């Protein structure tokens, strides 16, 4: 099997996909814009060949790279970065080179929030009222029906970039005065806790692994307010969240793919479908799964892709919490003090890439324990400010 790992060095832990692909028996063909000598040794050792382009946004260069790989190695069987940012580029390349996976004609329903909403409704899930609006009068009419606050976000966008909370007519008029020339979807603001249902399905659409996370603060608030964040995996998944997540997998006909579905849990307990992402949740979540269940999800994925192995047996043995800290804040306890107090519970800690800093922080800890109360105790210790 010839598998192209697109941008294989970002985020840094995703180099493990290449390592696992090689171990599963694939020819791993790296495609990126970073010099080969700058790649970590584990990644370099896993690549059958690496093709460097000047700019990953230059589609002609990408076509030339895949043409070279095809000429030298034969038909390309797979291509992935596992990164939302490159989803459209990947789909276009898969379409042009007839590579298995999501193609261009499948993009709208998994990229546009307005299209996702139709799928959620058809699957019988609750959604926030909303639609794409292009003019101020349209938005004012929407407010007459639903009131403030609203959330305005790009209909096709990544993460919380360029997302706004609108609380008054002044906010609304100001937004339209400066609105970017892209489609925006407006939704009623949902006050609640964000939960996600995440995992991996095999080539037949059956679950290989799944987990869930709770995020006390949304990425929009974290980015816009420049605050720190924590996200925790769950040992016991609420039955309605599991049911809703499985409905979404069926509704989208997902196969041989990671997934990350987001929901709001309102104060009254109601679950509201928010959006889908057809890739791993991002950052260190794949490692959180590994620590939560004592597995290697990179190997699980590669064995499924290369050898159609679907025999994973696992349990959710631990809660794992991502705890991010930002350099702009002065914390009460240093990294060394955190490790001294709770070292047995810290599965991993390190600096984060600058590209992740706004949303995830400059430094992170992965905290692991069987007891959620212990995890929350450590999270509070890590996030404590100087008085």
Cα 261 to Cα 270: distance, rounded to the nearest angstrom: 16
Cα 364 to Cα 229: distance, rounded to the nearest angstrom: 10
Buried b (16+ CB within 10 A) or exposed e, 138-164: ebeebbeebeeebbbbbbbbebbeebb
Cα 245 to Cα 261: distance, rounded to the nearest angstrom: 7
Average pLDDT over residues 368-373: 97
The pLDDT of residue 222 is 47
Please, are residues 185 and 132 in contact by the beta-carbon 8 Å criterion? Answer: yes
The pLDDT of residue 360 is 83
- With bands split at pLDDT 50, 70 and 90, how would you rate the model's confidence at 353? confident
Buried b (16+ CB within 10 A) or exposed e, 248-285: bbebbebebbbbbbbbbbeeeeebbbbbbbbbbbbbbb
pTM recorded for the entire structure: 0.91
Average pLDDT over residues 42-66: 98
Q: Is 6 helix (H, G, I), strand (E, B) or coil?
A: strand
Average pLDDT over residues 352-356: 81
Please, are residues 209 and 312 in contact by the beta-carbon 8 Å criterion? Answer: yes
- Across the strands, what pairs with 350? 364
Q: What is the DSSP string of 308-350?
A: -----------EEEEEEE-TTS-BSS-HHHHHHHHGGGEEEEE
The three state secondary structure string of 197-227 is EEEEECCCCCEEEEEEEEECCCHHHHHHHCC
- The helices-and-strands tally (H runs, E runs) of the chain is 15, 16
Give, in degrees to the nearest 5, the angle at Cα 345 between 340 and 347: 105
Q: What is the CA radius of gyration of the chain?
A: 21
Q: Is the pLDDT of residue 220 over 80?
A: no
CB neighbours of residue 183 within 10 Å: 15
Average pLDDT over residues 153-164: 76
Q: Is the pLDDT of residue 53 over 90?
A: yes
DSSP single-letter state for residue 189: P
pLDDT, tens digit, 9 for 90 and up, residues 235-282:
999 999 999 999 999 999 999 999 999 999 999 999 999 999 999 998
Sign of CA dihedral 196, 204, 208, 83: negative
Q: Enumerate residues 6+ apart whose C-beta is below 8 A from 12.
A: 40, 353
Q: Is the pLDDT of residue 26 over 80?
A: yes
Structural domains of the chain, with CATH:
2-107 (3.40.50.20), 129-188 (3.30.1490.20), 192-383 (3.30.470.20)
Please, are residues 228 and 361 in contact by the beta-carbon 8 Å criterion? Answer: yes
By DSSP bridging, strand 230-233 and strand 319-325 are antiparallel
Please, are residues 13 and 284 in contact by the beta-carbon 8 Å criterion? Answer: yes
Cα 379 to Cα 385: distance, rounded to the nearest angstrom: 12
Cα 168 to Cα 161: distance, rounded to the nearest angstrom: 21
């Amino acid at each position: 099997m010839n598998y192209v790992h697109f941008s294989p060095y970002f985020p840094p832990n995703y180099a493990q996909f290449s390592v696992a692909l090689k171990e599963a028996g694939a020819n791993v063909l790296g495609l990126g814009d970073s010099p080969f000598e700058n790649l970590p040794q584990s990644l370099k050792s896993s690549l059958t060949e690496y093709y460097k382009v000047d700019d990953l946004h230059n589609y002609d260069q990408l076509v030339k790279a895949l043409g070279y790989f095809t000429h030298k190695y034969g038909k390309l069987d797979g291509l992935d970065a596992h990164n939302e940012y490159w989803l459209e580029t990947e789909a276009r390349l898969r379409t042009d080179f007839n590579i298995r996976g999501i193609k261009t004609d499948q993009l709208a329903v998994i990229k546009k929030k307005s299209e996702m909403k139709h799928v959620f409704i058809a699957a019988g899930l609750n959604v926030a009222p909303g639609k794409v609006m292009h003019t101020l009068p349209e938005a004012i009419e929407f407010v007459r029906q639903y009131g403030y606050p609203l959330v305005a976000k790009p209909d096709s966008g990544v993460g919380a970039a360029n997302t706004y909370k609108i609380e008054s007519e002044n906010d609304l008029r100001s937004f339209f005065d400066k609105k970017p020339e892209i489609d925006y979807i407006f939704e009623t603001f949902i006050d609640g806790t964000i939960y996600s249902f995440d995992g991996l399905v095999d080539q037949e659409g059956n679950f290989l692994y799944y987990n869930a996370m709770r995020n006390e603060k949304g990425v929009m608030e974290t980015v816009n307010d420049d605050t720190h964040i924590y996200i925790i995996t769950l040992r016991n998944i609420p039955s309605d969240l599991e049911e809703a997540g499985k409905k979404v997998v069926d509704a989208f006909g997902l196969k041989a793919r990671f997934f990350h579905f987001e929901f709001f849990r309102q104060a009254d307990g109601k679950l509201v479908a928010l959006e889908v992402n057809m890739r791993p949740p991002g950052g260190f979540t794949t490692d959180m799964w590994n620590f939560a269940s004592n597995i290697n999800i990179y190997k699980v994925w590669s064995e499924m892709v290369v050898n159609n192995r679907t025999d994973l047996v696992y349990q959710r043995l631990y809660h794992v919490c991502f705890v991010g800290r930002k350099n702009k804040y002065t914390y009460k306890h240093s990294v060394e003090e955190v490790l001294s107090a709770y070292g047995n519970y810290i599965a991993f800690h390190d600096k984060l890439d600058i590209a992740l800093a706004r949303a995830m922080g400059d430094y992170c800890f992965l905290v692991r324990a069987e007891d959620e109360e212990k995890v929350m105790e450590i999270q509070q210790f890590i996030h404590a400010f100087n008085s």
